[in-house]
Structure 1
Amino acid sequence: MSIHQTKTVAGIGIPDSSIAIQATELLLEHGTEFIYNHSMRVFLFSSLNGIRRELKYDQELLYVASMFHDLGLTKHYSSPDLRFEVDGANAARDFLKSHGLPQESLQLVWDTIALHTTIGIAEHKEPEVALMYSGVGLDVMGEGYEYLTEDNRSEIVSVFPRNDFKKNIIPTFFSGFEHKTETTFGNIKADVCAFMIPNFHRKNFCDCILHSPWKE
């Protein structure tokens, strides 16, 4: 794979700073074309939502977060015992720290990635967090699809194809945490395990309460 040379898609400029290019190169090195296209669409959808909502945000940080948001699914960045969202967030934080960015930026990008699947919380945080959450929701589940113009949809998908997205995204998710399914307890990725594993037994919060070591 190579970095797409298009500078503007659907009216959104693709960041071309040194940090943005290096983040993209890491995704191309350790990810797949499928994850790359998804990540680029997430950035573009997030940016269009930012314009529609008239939000002020750091485009470069949003872009870096988009590039790293699913890298926790890859073998290179996957830990044995952390949620894949946290793996990606940790990797992005280390990357930005090596470039000397301030702590506020490191924390913002960490939150943007770590919370991108956290329904009911991410949308109420900083613009970068809320926007990437919205971009992921749009690409994966079609949330906010009606706000996209047909021209924008067609242009974005023509440059960054979906490639049988509905068929491939669930196995792609699963491949990133099938070795640590316990990390899906309490989050939506438990649905992926239930879909992929016959008779998958979910850990249950009520069981945790009832079987705790407390006597009453």
Structure 2
Amino acid sequence: MRQEIAGIKIPDSQLAKDAADILREQENDLLWNHSNRVFLFGAVQGQQAAQPYDLELLYVSALFHDLGLTKEYSSPDLRFEVDGANAARSFLQQYQIPEESLNLVWDAIALHTTIGITEHKTPQVSLLYSAVGLDVMGDNFDQFPAEQRKEIVEAFPRNNFKQEIIPAFYEGFKHKPETTFGNIKADVISHYQPEYKHKNFCECIIHSPWSE
């Protein structure tokens, strides 16, 4: 892999290499390319805004953010985002990373699909969120430098990404649709299982055990 893409140096410490090896072993080209694009998009956005963040931790966050979609790291009852966050925390603990940094990585991954909140967190967390939004939904597409965007996509091609990412999401949590209650991934379950009935927030209130 090239050492620098779009003006961003790819972390090459042992920690970074080990993280990349885990991703390569567990994920296909779709998620490998997506995760690397997310890292680069986030790093460029951080550079643009002159925001303070740790490049290596952003790299690990990006590489692990969808790891919860894989069979190896998927739990039977947790949101896939939490599975990925837990995997990242366990991985980083092996390298004596400070607890504060572990918590930032955990938050970045666990909250990367949480609209309306994550963009207001610290740069270490919000950059991953904005980069995922750019790659998946085209958020702030026109605000991202076109030449750097082109270089990133050439290095990590999209290759029918629009058509393949939704079924990839579904495969990752179709065995636990209840974990999508209250979050945007409920739309993926509805797309493939229109007959599935999610819990309803209002019904949860009305049918709670409280007498009044």
- Give me the TM-score of the superposition, normalised by structure 2: 0.98
> What amino acid is aligned across from residue 126 of structure 1 in structure 2?
T
- Residue of structure 2 in register with 1:49 after alignment: 45
- Quote how far apart the aligned CAs of 1:198 are: 2.8
**Aligned counterpart, 1:58:** 54
Please give the residue correspondences for 1:35-184 in structure 2 after superposition, counting only pairs within 5 Å. Answer: 35-184=31-180
Q: Distance in 2 between matches of 1:162 and 1:181?
A: 27
Report the residue type matching 2:63 in the other structure: M
> How many residues are paired up?
212
Q: Secondary structure at the match of 1:77?
A: coil
Which whole-Å CA distance do the structure 1 matches of 2:14 and 2:100 have between them? 20
| CA–CA separation in structure 2 for the residues paired with 1:69 and 1:134 | 13
Query: 1:184 deviation in Å?
Result: 0.2
Cα distance in 2 for partners of 1:149, 1:112 equals 24
Q: Quote the Cα distance in structure 2 between the aligned partners of 1:100 and 1:54.
A: 28
1:33 to 26, 29, 36: 29
Distance (whole Å) between structure 2 residues aligned to residue 151 and residue 135 of structure 1: 16
Whole-Å separation in 1 of the counterparts to 2:174 and 2:113: 17
- Corresponding residue for residue 204 of structure 2: 208
**In 2: Cα distance, 1:48 partner to 1:147 partner:** 11
SS of the equivalent of 2:166 reads: helix
How far apart are 1:197 and its partner, in Å? 1.2
Distance 2:99 2:44 in 1: 27
Identity %: 60
Question: Partner residue of 2:190?
Answer: 194
Question: 1: CA distance between counterparts of 2:202 and 2:179?
Answer: 17
C-alpha distance after superposition, 1:127-167 (max 9, x if no partner): 11000000000000000101122211211111101111110
Superposition TM-score, scaled by structure 1 size: 0.96
Instruction: Name structure 2 gaps, 5 residues minimum.
Output: none
- CA distance in structure 1 between the partners assigned to 2:26 and 2:42 by the alignment: 23
Whole-angstrom CA distance in 1 between matches of 2:60 and 2:174:
26
Partner of residue 7 from structure 1, selected from 3, 6, 10: 3
Per-residue CA deviation, residues 3-45 of structure 1 (Å, 9 max, x unaligned), is xx21111111111111111000000011111101000000010
- CA separation in 2, counterparts of 1:70 and 1:157? 19
